[in-house]
Amino acid sequence: MGAVKLLTNYYVASEVLAVLKRREFNLTEEELEGMMKYMHLCVAVVDDPSGEEVLSNLGLLRDKKDIPMALGALSTQSDYLVTGDKELLKAPRISSITTSGLLQLIYNDQPDGVPCDQPS
């Protein structure tokens, strides 16, 4: 598998922020700001697909709000779109995987199952 490079687009980053603002997370503005800064250190953020590109791909998914996510994965030629969304996991043109599935792939790629931060 090799190195893992995390990519997202601005649309997805704004979705993450909206979810983290939910009451159940009970995060302060300072905590939210810190988390978003950390995300930008660890994750490369690429441009969103154009409105024209989204419109020309309306048939890609039933849930239209997920089209920018799918197009982001396709345009960056990502190996996987990491998601929990059932429709995206089944989309024919998109190679997608759950977070736990990706973590399992990464773990299995380690020599003798040794975690990345430990010498083999």
- Is 51 part of any domain? yes
- Is 82 part of any domain? yes
pTM above 0.75, yes or no: no
- Is 87 part of any domain? yes
pLDDT score recorded for residue 4: 76
pLDDT score recorded for residue 118: 47
- Is 2 part of any domain? no
The residue count of the chain comes to 120
- Is 54 part of any domain? yes
- Is 116 part of any domain? no
pLDDT score recorded for residue 33: 93
- Is 1 part of any domain? no
CATH number at residue 75: 3.40.50.1010
Distances (CA, A) of 74 to 6, 36, 79, 84, 116: 14, 24, 9, 17, 28
Full domain range(s) for residue 60? 7-110
Q: In 3-state terms, what secondary structure has residue 24?
A: helix
Check pLDDT > 90 for residue 6.
Answer: no
pLDDT score recorded for residue 1: 54
- Is 83 part of any domain? yes
Number of structural domains found in the chain: 1
Question: Mind listing the pLDDT tens digit for each residue in 73-115?
Answer: 999 999 999 999 999 999 989 999 998 998 898 888 776 655 5
